[in-house]
Structure 1
Amino acid sequence: MTVQATEPRVDVLGIHVSVTHMDHTVETFARWIDDGERHLVCVSDMNALLHARADGRLTEVYNTSGMTLPDGMPLVWAGRKAGFEQMARVCGPDLIERVMAEAEQRGWTHYFYGGADGVPEKLRDNFVAKHPDLKVVGAYSPPYRALTEAEDAEIVERLNAAEPDIIWVGLGAPKQERWMAEHRDRLDAAILIGVGAAFDFHTGRVDRAPQWMQRSGLEWSYRVYKEPRRLWRRYVLGIPRFAVGILRRPPRPVS
């Protein structure tokens, strides 16, 4: 049963970001699983939001998701500017760790879908080592190309046969959001959630910034430092675009 979410949201440049924090997000997941609801969840930082607002289909996916989580501090600051002081960052790598700990107690089952060859399997092994009672029912890295209809149907069958409560999708934004939207009605899992780089962070393929940089909204600068050739344009151009956009269109509650 797919249900339209009714959580409060804030309009940030046309993208409706959920007013939430870590505890509220995890309890929302618990309610969906207990009630048999089915949702997709977008985890959005500034860069993902700018991609989404430039694409009508992606805007629709973000704005009709079960939740669109504020991964980056700029989105949190925008929400607080609109009057939602309770809003806090829900970062993909932190969320997946928190949900794994919760799932060990609640018995939720998981499937890791995406990442480079061997990454979802390593992710599974790492989390099971940390949480021995965790139930991971599958891990699969799809080919890095467009799938045939037969291949896609086989993947849907494989995912449904495993009966996960949560499918963690690590295809990178915006590919993972498009994939989730295309497959939401065909998959039985309660939650599809795109967490992008979280797969690489939790398998040691990519280093995370120190905690003080994460809290102060400077994690982007650490990522640019580590991968300048790939990421400099994203942030050097993206930050001014975001800031100017906020000045022209201040964040406001979604009515």
Structure 2
Amino acid sequence: MKSIQILKAKVNILSVEELHEEIKGLIRSNKQSVIDYLNIYSANIAYEEEWFANFLNTCSIVLCDGKGIQLGAYFLGQEIPPQIAYNRWLWEFFSFCQSESYSIFLLGAKPGIFSKSIDVIHSKGYQLSIDGYHGYFNRSNEENDEVIKIINKFSPDILLVGFGMPLQEKWVIENRDKLNAKVIILGGAFLDWISGSVKLPPKIVTKLGFEWLYRLFLEPRRLAHRYLVGIPLFFYRVFFNRIFH
């Protein structure tokens, strides 16, 4: 599968249709695989944390999750990967899983948000084998073991994990050998989007690449450093890399 390098992390060049075909192949292989995503925030973490870069670079697939990565690829003289943003793609993903009869387990978010997400999926008419568990559990003791037992009892084709970066990656590293799931997809705040607890920006905002500004307006305290510091830092690193490499 074709990929490019953005600073210290890879990102794959593939469309939604190609992604779905790759997921089919991964499930058929019966070998556990991990899919993650790259945006400016995760590219910065990978630049600073070797373990995180290694994790991304060993994933089966890394999706382009932002216009910033596309712009970074352009400035680096790389092929520009198609953007596959979770808040839009997931509904196509659920249709794909329904057509292939894949079972899904959702892991993450607060108990109310997690359960509402499943209700929303059902209300939209999806006939899926789906279950889940909230993300507010102790990930370092026997409670973690109990959650893994719940996941393994369901034995999903696809496990969607949304703890946010880099907590979700650390959890997968520590627990993937215990998990009975064919494909693990890391999704950040995907359950917040599905449940409607975080409103989607208008499509024109996403198309123009200003989704970060929309999210900053909604959650200024949490996201100010990530965007107001992280975005300029990313492009400084991109330009430095282009000039000196």
TM-score calculated relative to the size of structure 2? 0.92
Q: Does structure 1 residue 88 correspond to structure 2 residue 64?
A: no
Following TM superposition, by how much is the alpha carbon of 1:60 offset from its aligned partner in structure 2, in angstroms? 0.9
**Residue 220 of structure 1: aligned partner:** 212
Q: Residue 72 of structure 2 contacts residue 235 of structure 2 at CA under 8 Å; is this kept in 1?
A: no
1:79 aligns with 2:93: no
d(CA) in 2 for partners of 1:190 and 1:147?
23
2:136 to 134, 138, 143: 143
1:43–1:91 CA contact under 8 A, matched in 2: no
Query: In structure 2, how many angstroms separate the alpha carbons of the residues matched to 1:187 and 1:41?
Result: 15
User: Residue 14 of structure 2 aligns to a residue in which SS?
Assistant: coil
Give the drift of 1:144.
Answer: 4.6
Q: Secondary structure at the match of 1:160?
A: helix
Letter in 2 for 1:82: G
Higher relative contact order (CA 8 A, sep 6+): 1
Query: % of aligned pairs identical?
Result: 24
Q: Partner of 1:249: helix, strand, or coil?
A: helix
Is 1:56 aligned to 2:57, yes or no? no
User: In structure 2, do the counterparts of structure 1 residues 133 and 163 end up closer, same or farther at CA, with 3 Å as the change threshold?
Assistant: same
> Would you say 1:159 and 2:154 are equivalent positions?
no
Distance, in Å, in 2 between the alignment partners of 1:11 and 1:143 is: 34
Measure how far apart 1:44 and its partner are: 2.2
Residue correspondence of structure 1 range 17-32 to structure 2 within 5 A: 17-32=11-26
Task: For structure 2, list consecutive stretches of 5 or more residues without a partner in the other structure.
Answer: none
Deviation at 1:11?
1.1
In the other structure, the counterpart of 1:171 is 163
Aligned length: 242
Partner Cα separation in structure 2 for residue 215 and residue 28 of structure 1: 25
Matched letter for residue 33 of structure 2? H
Does 2:39 correspond to 1:45?
yes
C-alpha contact 2:160 2:184 (8 A) present in aligned 1:
yes
| TM-score normalised by the chain length of structure 1 | 0.89
Cα distance per residue 1:202-223 (max 9 Å; x no partner):
1011112111111121100111
Could you say if the C-alpha distance between residues 37 and 146 of structure 1 is closer, same or farther in structure 2, counting changes exceeding 3 Å?
closer
Q: Secondary structure at the match of 1:10?
A: strand
Give distance in 2, aligned partners of 1:128 and 1:115. Answer: 18
The structure with more helix, counted as a fraction of residues:
2
Residue 146 of structure 1 deviates from its aligned partner by 4.1
Alignment CA distance shift 1:171-1:190 (3 Å): same
| Cα distance per residue 1:97-148 (max 9 Å; x no partner) | 1110111111000001111122222111211222342111x21114354431
Q: 1:131 to 1:246 in 2, by over 3 A?
A: same
Distance in 2 between residues matched to 1:199 and 1:79, nearest whole Å: 29
Q: Which moved more, 1:242-251 or 1:87-96?
A: 242-251
Compute the displacement of 1:82 (Å). Answer: 3.4
1:183-235 CA-partner distances (Å, limit 9, x unpaired): 22221211111111111011011112111111121100111111122212211
Work out the CA distance in 2 between the residues paired with 1:238 and 1:143.
Answer: 27
Q: How does 1:111-150 map to 2 (within 5 A)?
A: 111-136=105-130, 138-148=131-141, 150=142
3-state SS in 1 of match to 2:224: helix
CA distance 1:76–1:131, change in 2 (3 Å): farther
Provide the C-alpha distance between the structure 2 equivalents of 1:13 and 1:96, rounded to a whole number of angstroms: 27
Task: Check whether the contact 1:40–1:181 (CA below 8 A) recurs between aligned residues.
Answer: no
Moved more, 232-241 or 106-115: 232-241
